[in-house]
Structure 1
Amino acid sequence: MNASAGRAISDYQIQFLYRPGKHLSLGQFETLAGELRECAATCFEEVPAYQCLVETREALSDKVLAVAWRRDGHIGGLCSAVLLPVEGVGEVFHLGLTCVRPEDRSAGLTHILTSKVAVEYLLRRRPLSKVWLTNAACVLSSLGNVALYFDEVYPGPEFAEQPGETHLRIARAISEDHREKMFVHTDARFDEDAFVFRRANAGNCFQKKAEDTRFHHRRADLNDYYSNLMGWSDGDVVLQVGSFSLLTGARYFGSRLLSSLRSRGAKVRVSARPHKGTQAA
């Protein structure tokens, strides 16, 4: 019998961390950095030097994270977003990395952690306006979920055929200034017509195969739409640009939004491990 059978969200403590590299004590930082990499090691053959998995304070100083702590004091899953400065737009929220241990995948942590990190960031930074977001991926389930659960997503089957001015401004800024934050090769070509980085993942741990259905979305039309934008064997990556607001949260993250509103300002003790004093939001 699978050891994770019957595991529920009540088995975890969900913590929100805002720019943790700026304020955690040395002990808290070292424990968090080690636990993040330990969780990621169950998802990659070799943990990449990428995003929140780089063990420096600087690497965790522009990140917003939601982590699911298990009762044994280890991280069962994580969702880490990067805050990117874009001239003329402000702070852009990049949905960077989600990892869930194989034995913890029965609890629906991917959706819970993504909604937690997005809603908490929105309530902290832009409660009365909208946040621009990006996602760079070749994973069809990720691309499909962003298209479904966020607003103004380009490219996307339910948005305009052409990107808006802000979509273009953000995409160009990412191509010029923020490739490293997305693990995109410096020599990858940005196809502005398709919003695709050509050969961005060629040969690295993020490249996927078209026939690997583990990474497909449940909706075939979304799989077809995004597959047609990419050259799988070339390691292409789709760049999505969209937005979200409290209205988005009410539509798609309703229960998580209500929970966050009720608990604003509450302190969260994460685990028995050395994170004492760390706060949520």
Structure 2
Amino acid sequence: MLLDYDTEVFLRPGLTLPNKEQIISLQAELCALGRVCLDPLPRYQVFDLTSPTALDDKIIVTIRQEHELIGFVSGVFLVIDGLETPVLHTGITVIHPNHRKTSMKRLLFSNLFMTALSEYPQGIWVTSLAEVITSLVQFANYITETFPAPQWIRETGRSCPSSVHEMIAGQISSKHRSKMCISPTATFDEKTFVFSGSNDWPEGKAFLKDVDDPKMLHRDAEASQFFRQLLRKGCGDEVLQVGFLNLQKILASMENEGYAATEGNIISKL
């Protein structure tokens, strides 16, 4: 049975929408939902109304119910010196409180990843930044070569990142903090990929989480503990994950969770 949602994908909408009015309208809708869910609304990403290019480097997936915007994810492309293609950062996800117990988040991310793969069918490096343990576990389940993650240790026998992981993470720390709402004073640990105090500043206040909240834990207790031990309680720490998105892995993960491609709606719940 299909979910009663209308899904739409915007690829670099700041550059591809037909006119400025449509760009302004889309951004206004995103900000309106953001204000429902985030207090205070941070001035970054699609919420930065002072930037005329705020939507230029984004993949935005929206979900509506009866024409009302109830959820979106906004990923951002990052240019990393040394890579032929950009890196996709998973960005910000906003879901109306009345719909958070649905499978909407998986629907949003499946569309985000498949859109990225339609642009870069050979695969693309992708990053996530979170202190929500369920998000960290789920990212590693979908993305190959994810560091840090228990799978990386099992598959490589190493607890240290590869040189590509290090290159991407290092340039994020030095060049792209503002695009990921990382505090300029946060300390980056090159061994664990933890930004200590990432959300401990005014712009990150809305993203602070209780890392010991049972609702934030994944059903995979071992993986949950792996990420929990990286984070200090109440300090706004976040884990940067770096991995590679490829079609084979994402389709297998989607099939395991009951998702498939359908015409007119890239990914739908079966």
Note whether the superposition's TM-score is higher than 0.5. Answer: yes
- SS of the residue corresponding to residue 128 of structure 2 reads strand
Distance verdict in 2 for CA 1:106–1:188, change over 3 Å: closer
Equivalent positions of 1:164-183 (< 5 A) are: 164-183=162-181
1:121 paired to 2:116 = yes
- 1:43 is matched with which residue? 37
Structure 1: distance between partners of 2:161 and 2:230 = 15
CA contact (8 A) 2:73 2:112 kept: yes
Pick from 132, 145, 170 the counterpart of residue 139 of structure 1: 132
Pick from 9, 12, 16 the counterpart of residue 19 of structure 1: 12
- 2:61 is matched with which residue? 66
- 2:69 is matched with which residue? 75
Structure 2: distance between partners of 1:202 and 1:81 = 22
1:30 paired to 2:24 = yes
Structure 2: distance between partners of 1:167 and 1:244 = 13
Deviation at 1:49, TM superposition (A): 1.0
Pick from 86, 89, 97 the counterpart of residue 102 of structure 1: 97
Q: Which range moves more in the overlay, 132-141 or 55-64?
A: 55-64
Deviation at 1:29, TM superposition (A): 1.4
CA contact (8 A) 2:132 2:211 kept: no
1:210 paired to 2:205 = no
Deviation at 1:11, TM superposition (A): 2.2
Amino acid at match of 1:150: I
Deviation at 1:107, TM superposition (A): 3.2
Alpha-carbon displacement from aligned partner over 1:165-219 (angstroms, at most 9, x marks no partner)? 1101100010110000111111111100111111111152212122322322222
- 2:47 is matched with which residue? 53
Structure 1: distance between partners of 2:48 and 2:219 = 32
Deviation at 1:251, TM superposition (A): 0.7
Alpha-carbon displacement from aligned partner over 1:25-67 (angstroms, at most 9, x marks no partner)? 2221122111111212222122111212223441111110110
Distance verdict in 2 for CA 1:9–1:205, change over 3 Å: farther
CA contact (8 A) 1:35 1:74 kept: no
Q: Identify unmatched segments of 5+ residues in structure 1.
A: 1-7, 267-281
Distance verdict in 2 for CA 1:96–1:78, change over 3 Å: same
- 1:153 is matched with which residue? 146
Distance verdict in 2 for CA 1:78–1:232, change over 3 Å: same
- 1:252 is matched with which residue? 253
- SS of the residue corresponding to residue 79 of structure 2 reads strand
CA contact (8 A) 1:184 1:200 kept: yes
Structure 2: distance between partners of 1:200 and 1:48 = 14
CA contact (8 A) 2:147 2:242 kept: yes
Distance verdict in 2 for CA 1:213–1:195, change over 3 Å: same
Normalised TM-score (structure 2): 0.88
CA contact (8 A) 2:13 2:55 kept: yes
Structure 2: distance between partners of 1:226 and 1:132 = 21
Distance verdict in 2 for CA 1:132–1:184, change over 3 Å: same
CA contact (8 A) 2:200 2:235 kept: yes
Amino acid at match of 2:206: C
Distance verdict in 2 for CA 1:9–1:68, change over 3 Å: farther
Q: Which range moves more in the overlay, 212-221 or 162-171?
A: 212-221
CA contact (8 A) 2:131 2:211 kept: no
Q: Identify unmatched segments of 5+ residues in structure 2.
A: 154-158
CA contact (8 A) 1:119 1:257 kept: no
- 1:272 is matched with which residue? none
CA contact (8 A) 2:188 2:195 kept: yes
Structure 2: distance between partners of 1:248 and 1:14 = 23
Amino acid at match of 1:179: R
CA contact (8 A) 1:188 1:199 kept: yes
Amino acid at match of 2:9: F
Aligned alpha-carbon RMSD (Å): 1.9
- 1:185 is matched with which residue? 183
Deviation at 1:9, TM superposition (A): 5.5
Equivalent positions of 1:264-279 (< 5 A) are: none
Normalised TM-score (structure 1): 0.84
- 2:156 is matched with which residue? none
Amino acid at match of 1:135: S
The number of residues matched between the two structures is 253
